[in-house]
Amino acid sequence: MDTLHTLTNMLVNSGCQYHIYDLSRRVQKIDNQQFANVEKGSQPYPFPIQRKAQFAVAYWNEEKQPWIWFLTFNLDERGLLNQGDIGQFIQFVLEAMGSRLSQEMTDEQQQKLANNPFTFRPKDDKLAIFHSLLRAQLALPTSQYYTHAQEYFQGKLGWNNWQGVGLQGITDLAARLTNDDNGRIVRTSLRHIASEPKYALLGALEHVALPDKLSDVIFELAHDECQSSDADLFLLSAYVRALAGGKPQQLETLVTGILNSARLSHQEILIAIAGRAWLPLTTTTIADQYLIRLAQTGNQALFNQLFADLVMMPSLRMVLLPLLHSTPSQELTTALVGLQQAATQGRTH
């Protein structure tokens, strides 16, 4: 048998079908060939967070009952995976279950495999939407909570009777917007539902591709919130995040409008843009305005963290690095000096 150097080698060798999902930022599929390139070190991990790659490997045989690994690996300063870490994890797999993956694991094997430094448990909200997206992708049944959630969002239970609605039901709804009239149900409900289920629904929508009509509704609600004299900045932040999978032009218009307003450029919203809705930052003028607003928060630690995080993104690196040497505003100059001082101190410790 050939030596197994990568997860891709191992999965292909086992005759399994598989999907890779990023769990660092938005829960979204990574193309298998792109992931193979990442493993070989020929391209950086596409969606890093805090210099880590966090992703799920879901693989299955003809029964289509997937096995899942949740993995996290450190990245170097170029955003590349350490191939030694991949090799070390593969060694754990081989010791726990051998080279053929498409077999049931005993409790002992599962325990043995779980006992390694590369597995992690995602947060509950990401875990729920991941399972919903995967089951939808593989045409597997929804969870037992789906029907009840659908009835609530249809208004059949009364808008205030949300307490029994399960998060997994909400994420099932979000993962199947093109099924069972769910797109229309969600669009209509957003103007009626109570605050708690609204935040849960918007949190699930962050990770899916929005149908055009739903993108229009969220954009309109966010625009209305921006125009309000007492805008709810936390709700606006949730709308921004939810629009990450909507029409790119709408997201860019919304983010530009927010960054043009000192009142709306609250750090909660700036964090939302960095974490989920970073696409507009690929435009230099928007990225520049974003950094100025981030500097104006006066929170140097937040500036350092978000800048370091964003500059690791392959799609943003060559947009942000030149801004270090442009002639920015005084606040941004001060923040960048603070960033460089922090980096220097970090190297000397």
The phi, psi pair for 57, rounded to 5°, reads -110, 115
Q: What is the pLDDT of residue 327?
A: 63
Residue 1 has pLDDT above 50, yes or no: no
Portion of the chain with pLDDT greater than 90, in percent: 77
Residue 348 has pLDDT above 60, yes or no: no
| pLDDT tens-digit readout, 279-297 | 999 999 999 999 999 999 9
| Cα–Cα distance, 48 to 75 (Å, whole number) | 8
H-type helices in the chain, by residue range?
7-13, 32-40, 83-97, 107-114, 124-137, 146-153, 167-175, 182-189, 195-205, 212-227, 233-242, 248-259, 267-275, 284-296, 300-311, 314-320, 330-348
Question: Averaged over 9-13, what is the pLDDT?
Answer: 88
Residue 36 has pLDDT above 90, yes or no: yes
Q: Which H/E stretch holds residue 298?
A: none
Cα dihedral 73→76→79→81 (10° resolution): -40
Q: How confident is the model at residue 266 (pLDDT cuts 50, 70, 90)?
A: very high
| pLDDT tens-digit readout, 96-146 | 877 667 666 677 777 777 788 999 999 999 999 999 999 999 999 999 999
Q: How confident is the model at residue 336 (pLDDT cuts 50, 70, 90)?
A: confident
* pLDDT, averaged across the chain: 92
